Amino acid sequence: MAQSEVTTRSGEDLLDLADWRREVSQLYADVRAMSETSPAGAWRHWVAVREALFRHHPQSPVPPERREAFTAQHWEYDRDYRFEVAIEPAAPGPAGGGLQLPNSRDEAPAISRVGVVEVPFPAGPRPLSVFWIAGYAGGLFLPFRDATNGTETYAAGRYVLDTAKGADLGGDLLERRLVLDFNFAYQPTCAFDPRWACPLAPPENRLDIVVPVGERIG
């Protein structure tokens, strides 16, 4: 949920960005804690706080002239789309870390494939690759596309994890497990303004099913 734009930033702008990352990290920390007893309640908190950030924070990806009227759109929470999955080993990709994801604008950051998860969707299990993205301090990244793209969600897909930018739903990584709750799936920043550069889902993470939860377009 943090921004990625290739530009020269002022000191004031960098402090705003640091505060944005702090706010997002705290939001997901709250989500992880609240989800232990009420995943749906954690989701409602996430929706409300995220909408407030998008309306009022100077680092909001929504253009300034549209912020005051911004309203987030989501499907209702569906517990059938919350999973805890095992991360299975996967081929890391070309030697030297040459994997690259599609990107909405400029060249995407370097990535490596961490593993593969088998997600038991209601429509049937589907594999998704989990990546390590080298931007910022590095972090786990899981973009995906599904059959809602281009109609009910952003055409280029959504994210469910981006831990380098705070979007972390939990799971015991020492045990090679992740929480994937697709009710928290969200549009990348480039869905709100094309000036942002966003890495996107590669072919291996393009699902042939509908994932009717998470953030949607109006």
Give residue-wise pLDDT tens across range 171-205. 999 999 999 999 999 999 999 998 888 889 999 99
The pTM (predicted TM-score) of the whole model is: 0.91
Is residue 3 situated within a structural domain?
Answer: no
Is residue 178 situated within a structural domain?
Answer: yes
Is residue 166 situated within a structural domain?
Answer: yes
Counted domains in the chain:
1
Is residue 6 situated within a structural domain?
Answer: no
Q: Which residues contact 159 (CB under 8 A, 6 or more apart)?
A: 141, 142, 143, 144, 167, 185, 186, 187, 188
Domain range enclosing 161: 11-216
Is residue 185 situated within a structural domain?
Answer: yes
Is residue 1 situated within a structural domain?
Answer: no
Q: How confident is the model over 13-60, as pLDDT tens digits?
A: 899 999 999 999 999 999 999 999 999 999 999 999 999 999 999 999
Is residue 5 situated within a structural domain?
Answer: no
Q: Which of 24-33, 39-48, 98-107, 115-124 has the lowest mean pLDDT?
A: 98-107
User: What is the chain's mean pLDDT, rounded?
Assistant: 90
